[in-house]
Amino acid sequence: AQTVSDAFDSKVKIIWLGLDFTEAKLIGDFEHFGVESSVKTFMASLNELMSNEREKYDIAKTFEKSTVDHKLEICEKHNNGLKTEGMYSTELNDYLHLKPEDINKIAAGYDYQELHGMGLMFNIESFNKLTTQASMFVTFIDMDTKKVLFTERMTAEPSGFGIRNYWAGAVYAVMKNIEKKQLKTWQKNHGQE
């Protein structure tokens, strides 16, 4: 069985599953997020970007891992089946609306197909255009049991041109923060110095 310290052990392989939008709130951008088809396109385009630009969105480097497999179709397929009409919001208090228990539920509801071992996904909590902030949970999952081993909220400011790159900028900022600062703390707290 996987343990939380495995998540931060450079020798333990992880599988990068992508960005999950199960409980995401897209706040204050009716032009882009008020229409279901554009939300679907947006979710798919973000995971596509992570996949196509692996050198930039480098999970192995972010988490100091020697081996990372990319299986972003896991999150893509899941997101594609989501009902998106409830995602658009104008409520500022939707920015931080999830708890770790919600992340447990999301992870338990996934189809990991034939995958085994440790999966990593970023659960998007909100993209808030009104305050230009993004919030997401960095989540490691034991895919054999569908149990969350570790999840923690991280926030960042978006940056970039065009709707996709703008919010991808926030994901990139979170990854850089993990790489430069947060990872050390997590390793220390979970016995992997």
Q: What is the pLDDT along the chain (193 residues), one digit of tens a residue?
A: 789 999 999 999 999 999 999 999 999 988 888 877 899 999 999 999 999 999 999 999 999 999 999 999 999 999 999 999 889 999 999 999 999 999 999 999 999 999 999 999 999 999 999 999 999 999 999 999 999 999 999 999 999 999 999 999 999 999 999 999 999 999 999 876 5
Can you count the helices (H) and strands (E) in the chain? 8, 7
- The amino acid occupying position 166 is Y
**What does the alpha-carbon distance between residue 68 and residue 20 come to, in Å, rounded to a whole number?**
18
Question: Residue 99: left (phi > 0), alpha (psi -120 to 50), or beta?
Answer: beta
Q: Write the burial class of residue 162 (CB in 10 Å: 0-12 exposed, 13-18 middle, 19+ buried).
A: exposed
pLDDT at 192: 63
For residue 158, the SS3 value is: coil
* The overall pTM is greater than 0.95: yes
Rounded to 10°, the helix 73-80/36-52 angle is 180
